[in-house]
A and B are shown apart, each in its own frame.
Chain A
Amino acid sequence: KNEVEQSPQNLTAQEGEFITINCSYSVGISALHWLQQHPGGGIVSLFMLSSGKKKHGRLIATINIQEKHSSLHITASHPRDSAVYICAVKKLVFGQGTRLTINP
C-alpha cells in the first residue's frame, strides 16, 4: 500500500462544477504540499498546509492531521484548471496525482 493515496486518479467535469480531490497518507507529517502540473510539465506549488484550511482564489485546501487526510477543492471550475494535481508529504513521498479535465 502506498504511503500516500490520492483519489480519484482521473476526474472529468463540466465548467462551473465544484471539484474535490482527496489525499490520504499513512506517515506522520509536519506539513503537506499541493502541487499543480500543467501539460508541458511545469509544476507550481499551490498550498503548504500544516493544519486547518487555506484559500487562494477559487482554490481551497483543508487538512485533518488526526485523520491523516487532506482535500483540495476548486469552486466554479474552469477549463484552465485542467492539470494534474499532486499531494506531497515528504521528500520521498508523493501521491500518484489526479488528472483533472474541465470541459467547457
Chain B
Amino acid sequence: KAGVTQTPRYLIKTRGQQVTLSCSPISGHRSVSWYQQTPGQGLQFLFEYFSETQRNKGNFPGRFSGRQFSNSRSEMNVSTLELGDSALYLCASSLGTSGDFDTYNEQFFGPGTRLTVL
C-alpha cells in the first residue's frame, strides 16, 4: 500500500510569491492534517480536512489556506510569502474520523515539502 506522498519535495520561492503544496493520503484515509515545522517553533498544526471540510485550524494567518478534494487529496496554499515561512511542511493522513492526537488513530506522515523563501 502506498504511503502518504507530498509534492514537490523541495521548493525555492521569493518573498511575495505564492506557493501550492500537494498531499496524497493513504488510500482509504479521509482525514488529512497539515503541519509546519521550523527549527525555532518545532512542529505546529496548520489545519485538518475531513471529507472536503476543514474541521480544525491552527493559529496561522489567513495567508495559509487549504482544501481537500473528493478523492481526499489535499492542497495547501501560502500567499504573499515571507522569509519566516521557510519551513518543512508535513501532511499526515489518518483512517479515523479525526486527525487529533487525542484519539487512538495513528497518523501517517508524508516525507514533507521543504520550502525556502529568499
A window 54-100: CB within 8 A of B: 86, 88-97
- A12 interface contact, C-beta 8 A: no
Dominant SS among interface residues on chain B: strand
Bound together, the chains give a CA A89 to CA B100 distance in angstroms of 8
- B84 interface contact, C-beta 8 A: no
A window 15-45: CB within 8 A of B: 29-33, 35, 40-45
A33, B101: Cβ atoms under 8 Å? yes
Contacts of B107 in A (CB 8 A): 33, 45
Proximity string of chain B (100-116) to chain A, C-beta cutoff 8 Å, 1 when within and 0 when not = 11111111110110100
Query: Within the complex, which residue of B33, B101, B112 is in contact with A41, where a contact is CB–CB below 8 Å?
Result: B112
Contacts of B112 in A (CB 8 A): 41-42
The chain B residues found within 8 Å of chain A, CB to CB, are 33, 37, 42-45, 48, 56, 58-59, 88, 90, 92, 99-109, 111-112, 114
A97, B42: Cβ atoms under 8 Å? yes
Bound together, the chains give a CA A45 to CA B37 distance in angstroms of 16
Query: Within the complex, which residue of B42, B48, B104, B109 is in contact with A44, where a contact is CB–CB below 8 Å?
Result: B109
Bound together, the chains give a CA A91 to CA B107 distance in angstroms of 11
Q: Closest Cβ of chain B: how far from A49's Cβ, in Å?
A: 9
Query: Within the complex, which residue of B56, B90, B114 is in contact with A91, where a contact is CB–CB below 8 Å?
Result: B56
Bound together, the chains give a CA A96 to CA B90 distance in angstroms of 16
- A7 interface contact, C-beta 8 A: no
Bound together, the chains give a CA A32 to CA B105 distance in angstroms of 11
B43, A31: Cβ atoms under 8 Å? no
Q: Closest Cβ of chain B: how far from A61's Cβ, in Å?
A: 14
A43, B42: Cβ atoms under 8 Å? no
B102, A30: Cβ atoms under 8 Å? yes
Bound together, the chains give a CA A90 to CA B107 distance in angstroms of 12
B111, A90: Cβ atoms under 8 Å? no
Contacts of B105 in A (CB 8 A): 48
Query: Within the complex, which residue of A40, A42, A90 is in contact with B101, where a contact is CB–CB below 8 Å?
Result: A90
Of all chain A residues, the one with the shortest Cβ separation from B33 is: A91
